[in-house]
Amino acid sequence: MRCWQTAPVADYEPLHSGKVRDLYQTGDGLLLMVASDRISAFDFVLPTEIPDKGRILTQLSLWWFDRLADVVENHVVSAEVPPEFAGRAILCRRLEMVPVECVARGYLAGSGLVEYAATGAVCGVPLPAGLVDGSRLPDPIFTPATKAAMGEHDENVSYDVVSASAGAATAAELRKLTLDVYARAEEVAADRGIIVADTKLEFGWAGDGNLVLADEVLTPDSSRFWPADQWRPGGSQPSYDKQFVRDWLTSPASGWDRASGEPPPALPDEVVEKTRSRYVEAYERLTGIRWD
């Protein structure tokens, strides 16, 4: 990683504020990607933040980028950032992002489960009959989705749709890289007693024509992490991710009707602390490093 001389925050041009990350452009055309403590669910940014979340996402992504370096090139230039963003930001290359959410699934859960129950397939990939919530798939599958704007829902699409929009060669490379990353992640996590049920990746084109892994990678925001010793197909699995928040929001305790179109309520302190503890545990179990 190249040496980076930090500059005052005022010298950075704000480019975009997403559900979790804020993006700035530096004076030499690089990007500063800052992870906040915001948390989103069901396409809403919740009014309550999760302490340390942005730092955990950033540090875990950096850890994974190192372990995937021989699998796929990534966008990281340096983790040396202005002190205002210490621990929660990455200096990275500017890419031409591919407008596809690249999802690898090794287990049936979430929107994949809903689609399977209705059609017997996920993103056009036929699956065996009789699978249930949490079932391991015969082989990991590539199940892309369209990238939605803020407040809109990503839509699962077939491989053919990606091929038609991005080109056959790009679609094939996206699928290969996504499944290669998932295979490495599954291997690494298994040694630490964690199942990577699924994960969402983003890629972009670098100036040299290479597809590069970008954004975050294999965090509790972008993946489903399950404790292997508690895996029991047939229902919702214990997890080290934001499923705890989703479950609370859809429970009677929240008083929120997802179909109402109204934004979700604030999270109570107990839910905030339990969510934070799951993110911390994911980091510690995967990296073997105690969270400070």
CATH of the domain spanning 9-92, picked from 3.30.420.240, 1.10.1370.20, 3.40.50.720, 3.30.200.20: 3.30.200.20
Q: What is the pLDDT of residues 63-72, one digit of tens each?
A: 999 999 999 9
- Does residue 175 carry a pLDDT above 60? yes
Tell me the three state secondary structure of residue 287.
helix
Q: At what angle do helices 53-67 and 269-287 cross, to 10 degrees?
A: 20
Q: What pLDDT sits at residue 151? A: 47
Q: Considering the domain 96-240, what is its CATH architecture?
A: 2-Layer Sandwich (3.30)
- Does residue 187 carry a pLDDT above 80? yes
User: How many Cβ atoms sit within 10 Å of the Cβ of residue 166?
Assistant: 17
| Farthest-apart Cα atoms in the chain, separation | 58
**Can you give the residue ranges of every domain in the chain?**
9-92, 96-240
Q: Quote the CA–CA distance of 215 and 180 in Å, as a whole number.
A: 17
> Poorest-confidence range of 17-26, 141-150, 227-236?
141-150
- Does residue 125 carry a pLDDT above 90? yes
- Does residue 43 carry a pLDDT above 90? no
Q: Quote the CA–CA distance of 193 and 48 in Å, as a whole number.
A: 30
DSSP classification of residue 74: B
